[in-house]
Amino acid sequence: MSAKTKSPDKAAAEDLNPYHIAQQQFDAAARYVPQLDPGLAVFLKQPSRMIIVEFPIETASGEVRNYVGYRCLHNAARGPGKGGIRYHPDVTADEVRALASWMTWKCAVLDVPFGGAKGGIVCNPKQRTKDDLRKITRRFIAELGDAIGPYVDIPAPDVNTNAETMAWIYDTYEMMHKGQNNLGVVTGKPVEMGGSLGRREATSRGCLFCTQQALARGVVPGLDTVKGATVVVQGYGNAGAIAAQLYAEQGARIIAVSDSRGGIYNPEGIDPLGALKHKQETGSVVGYGGCQEVSNEALLATPCDILIPAALENVIRADNAAQIKAKVIAEAANGPTTPAADRMLFERGIVVLPDILANAGGVTVSYYEWVQNNENEQWEEDEVNGKMRKKMVKATDAVIEKQKEINASLDALENERKKRGLGGAPLEPVDLRTAAYILAVSRVANVTLARGIWP
Ligand code: NAD
């Protein structure tokens, strides 16, 4: 069972539908933007387009299997849609809608000229051969037809998809659109075929840059650097395993990590590369030498300085937020914290660096990959990392400043709401997630209005 469907009795009252959560987050932020036209708010909240396709493949064992795939374009006001494709048995239409909307806000926070999109196929890749996965990918992309494209909607990797999957996507699209430069149809490609140096590590590296900047700005009382900090990582895939390596390189001590099969703990520190090698050899970090085994629930409650959720949605909820003992949570995953948990953590002074900021290094370098593809260029890795660092630092600063600005003007905002006849509970100080949303929603709203609502 995936983290997002795990809802112990205590959390039963909490709505864990990711799309409902994304909408709640939007509504919470929109209250601080009183000038936002109510009709425009409805438009910004909903996806522009949702494509659902069903298709068969003939598997390696000769049976015919049917698959459901989704591609959601949430908003394209600021540019073509951008967002990963996820392969997971628990993918739902609402999860894809939520992930697509988070992409819209993420691109706006980072000021990357893309809109938000996401895709997913309901499948268990662990039970499929590589050949099956290639057929599933090709058929899905063929079904999407011109709904994706370098200037329309640009996929990328997400859970259980990687550079190889992106190569299949490119190749399929290329077969259907010969005679033009199609490299920009997908990002996260292998470097030898148009991928960007630094893209594989970008989500985790961006998360590190965001954490470093937030700590340097004094956002987390008693913690001003990653150096010497204790770190716990949930999820040991692209985002999590590389985050463990990069934080360790900066002098942090990785004391616990986990994957879908369980976790490991060692207060003296875990060698991230050793744990990764063990996972590659055995399928899990569990059993890695010198470590105690821990459950994913116990892992989240481990006392540490920095907790990095890097797996799936809804892992920090109303029923376990009180047990979190980290000083700061850096959300490498999308949607790991529910709104109820956000409130509890904010009240306890635990800072959350929200997904739409903290994991945006991935889409930022995807943007650089797209630029390189369009210009037939290959940038040096240092150049890519340097540009991304600048963007992450700027966005982190902007979100911190927005939080300060909003929290210093609650009375004025309240008056503005009254003047406009807007009701509701009194405005309360906002956390960094709501501040990031306010920034993003304002940016997308402004662009929509500047373009003029068509026709
Ligand atoms: P991945 O498939 O490479 O890795 C996912 C990891 O999570 C695996 O180690 C898996 O075992 C683990 N996992 C799954 N269920 C778990 C559970 N219940 N408890 C603990 N661990 C569990 O995927 P990824 O690309 O690293 O994505 C992880 C998260 O990061 C997702 O939320 C994704 O949307 C987000 N993200 C990824 C990127 C990217 O560029 N890959 C960019 C931004 C955000």
pLDDT digit string, tens, across residues 274-284:
999 999 999 99
277 counts as catalytic? no
Mean pLDDT of the residues in the chain? 96
Would you say 395 and 403 are in contact if contact means Cβ atoms under 8 Å apart?
Answer: no
Sign of the CA dihedral running 404, 410, 415, 417: positive
Distance CA 275, CA 287 (A): 9
pLDDT of residue 294: 98
pLDDT of residue 7: 46
Tell how far the Cα of 413 is from the centroid of ligand 1, in angstroms: 38
Tell how far the Cα of 234 is from the centroid of ligand 1, in angstroms: 9
Average of per-residue pLDDT across 237-262: 98
Question: What atom of ligand 1 comes closest to residue 157's alpha carbon?
Answer: 41
Tell how far the Cα of 313 is from the centroid of ligand 1, in angstroms: 9
The pLDDT of residue 133 is above 70: yes
Q: Any residues with Cβ below 6 Å from ligand 1, and which?
A: 2-3, 157-160, 203, 234-240, 258-260, 296, 310-312, 332-334, 359, 362
The pLDDT of residue 12 is above 70: no
Classify residue 87 by its DSSP letter: E
For ligand 1, mutation pick of 203, 288, 293 (most atoms within 8 Å of CB)? 203
**Residue closest to 339 by CA, chosen among 205, 255, 430, 246:** 430
pLDDT of residue 2: 43
**pLDDT class for 4, splitting at 50, 70, 90?**
very low
Q: Tell the residue nearest (CA) to atom 13 of ligand 1.
A: 260
**Structural domains of the chain, ranges and CATH numbers in brackets:** 48-182 (3.40.50.10860), 201-360 (3.40.50.720)
The pLDDT of residue 217 is above 90: yes
Which residue of the set 4, 118, 279, 327 is catalytic?
A: 118
The pLDDT of residue 8 is above 70: no
- At which residue do the structure tokens 């299997």 appear? 65
Tell how far the Cα of 10 is from the centroid of ligand 1, in angstroms: 25
> Residues 177, 104, 113, CA angle at the centre, nearest 5°?
65
For ligand 1, mutation pick of 124, 210, 238 (most atoms within 8 Å of CB)? 238
- At which residue do the structure tokens 């875990």 appear? 270
pLDDT of residue 423: 85
